[in-house]
Amino acid sequence: MKSPTERVTRIAHISDLHIHAAGRHGARASRVVEYLRRRAEHLAGVVITGDLTQDGLDREYEALAEVLDPLSGVLPVFVCPGNHDDRGLIRRMLLNQPGDGPVNQVARVGELTVLLCDAVVPGSSRGELGAATLEWLAEALRGYRGPTVVAFHQPPLALGISNLDGSRLADSQALADALADHPQVVGILCGHVHTAIRTEFAGIPLIMAPSTAYAWKLPLDRADPDHGVTEPLVVLHEFWDDRLFTYFQPCPDYKMEQF
């Protein structure tokens, strides 16, 4: 058994930046990025689980690139597309890749392999991995037997949040089938729900990162349909002793007037 004082992999997990071209939400995301930059020596990488931009526009991806620029050459950043994104622009402007097919990527992050999957259905808010991505995932899981995390945007189950449950991952049973008999998967990372939630799917910890932009309220407060505004949370996944330890904490030093 490894202790935290030996080899430990730490991944920062942020989501749903919803960057507008005019800069809206950029200051909040930048504050998180700056915090991670200052703590980079303790981190192996950053995973962003989608909705990078508000409307999937090229000028929004330019604004996003500026927000993430402090991490350039400092920390590797890995992204999944979300329903507000344009996968072709993510390929061209963030990944320097041609085409507009699903953005499925394998990332080696410290001791972990992160399988970043594209659950976007163009023109729709609902999630669906689809046959090609599910086959890609199955093949990747056959190929990487070390500790693995799977990441995509829309969670694969209903959460009781009426305006989000309809857009959950449609092919969740096929995902569960693909994950079966792969005990190397130590966690599933999602976004989309703008709330920090931890549950399980197919017997695997499922962790949904909150949005850096705005928050859905707790179930206690859902009689009020408005979005809440909280400090952006930083989610930290530590991997050691063959499991993830997930921490949720408000971004240090954040001042609420930055919204």
Show the binding pattern over residues 108-137: x = contacts Fe ion (CB under 5 A), - = does not.
------------------------------
**What would the two tokens of residue 167 be?**
């857009």
> Pseudo-torsion of CA 129, 131, 133, 135, nearest 10°?
140
Rounded to whole angstroms, the Cα distance separating 30 from 28 reads 5
Smallest gap from Cβ 190 to Fe ion, in A, equals 10
Rounded to whole angstroms, the Cα distance separating 164 from 231 reads 22
Nearer to Fe ion, 45 or 82 (CB): 82
Site size toward Fe ion (CB under 5 A) is 5
Tell whether residue 232 is a contact of Fe ion (CB under 5 A).
no
Smallest gap from Cβ 23 to Fe ion, in A, equals 18
Answer for which of 9, 53, 83, 104 binds Fe ion (CB under 5 A) is: 83
Smallest gap from Cβ 180 to Fe ion, in A, equals 27
Stretch that binds Fe ion, among 11-19, 90-98, 136-144, 214-222 (CB under 5 A): 11-19
Answer for which of 26, 56, 81, 82 binds Fe ion (CB under 5 A) is: 82
Smallest gap from Cβ 170 to Fe ion, in A, equals 14
- Give, as ranges, the residues between 16 and 75 that touch Fe ion (CB under 5 A): 16, 51
Rg (CA), the chain: 17
Tokens 């500026």 correspond to 66
Cα 157 vs. chain centroid, distance in angstroms? 16
Nearer to Fe ion, 31 or 192 (CB): 192
**What would the two tokens of residue 224 be?**
């009020």
Q: Which residues pair with 48 in a beta bridge?
A: 14, 79
**Reduced to 3 states, what is the DSSP secondary structure of residue 245?**
strand
Answer for which of 13, 31, 87, 192 binds Fe ion (CB under 5 A) is: 192
Nearest to 78, CA basis, from 123, 126, 14: 14
Task: List contacts with Fe ion (CB under 5 A).
Answer: 16, 51, 82-83, 192
